[in-house]
Amino acid sequence: QVQLVESGGGLVQAGGSLRLSCAASGRTFSSYAMGWFRQAPGKEREFVSAITSSGGNTLNANSVKGRFTISRDNAKKTVYLQMNSLKPEDTAVYYCAAGSRWASSARLYDYWGQGTQVTVSS
């Protein structure tokens, strides 16, 4: 079992930056692949980024390529999402997730955080 808590969301102007953090509990954190997803009001949950358990490989949605970077620090049991050049369409609740497989499909992740709100003003 692993518990996940996101933080770092807030209000930022278009073109600005935020860094989201996902703090995990559980001794087996380093064995999990991690992903970030987002969900805007009235819309389906959307894949953002994923990283392998070792941190050696990453995957990004086309909408965030060149702007967002996922990373992890297994010693700190924390996953990060650095978001640069933010756009109003990035506004959503952002969730981190843990799973045994590295994937872009939400159904393949087993554990989820509570989410953190990101609002980008124009």
According to the model, what pLDDT value does residue 15 have? 98
According to the model, what pLDDT value does residue 59 have? 96
According to the model, what pLDDT value does residue 1 have? 79
CA atoms of 39 and 52, how far apart (whole Å) = 22
CA atoms of 107 and 113, how far apart (whole Å) = 14
Residue 90 half-sphere exposure, CB side, CA atoms within 13 Å?
32
According to the model, what pLDDT value does residue 27 have? 82
Residues 12, 90 contacting (CB under 8 angstroms): no
Mean pLDDT per 10-residue run, the chain (122 residues)? Answer: 94 98 92 97 96 95 97 96 98 97 93 98 95
Q: Which is nearest to 119 in space by CA: 5, 16, 21, 6?
A: 16
According to the model, what pLDDT value does residue 4 have? 97
Q: Which is nearest to 38 in space by CA: 120, 102, 121, 100?
A: 120
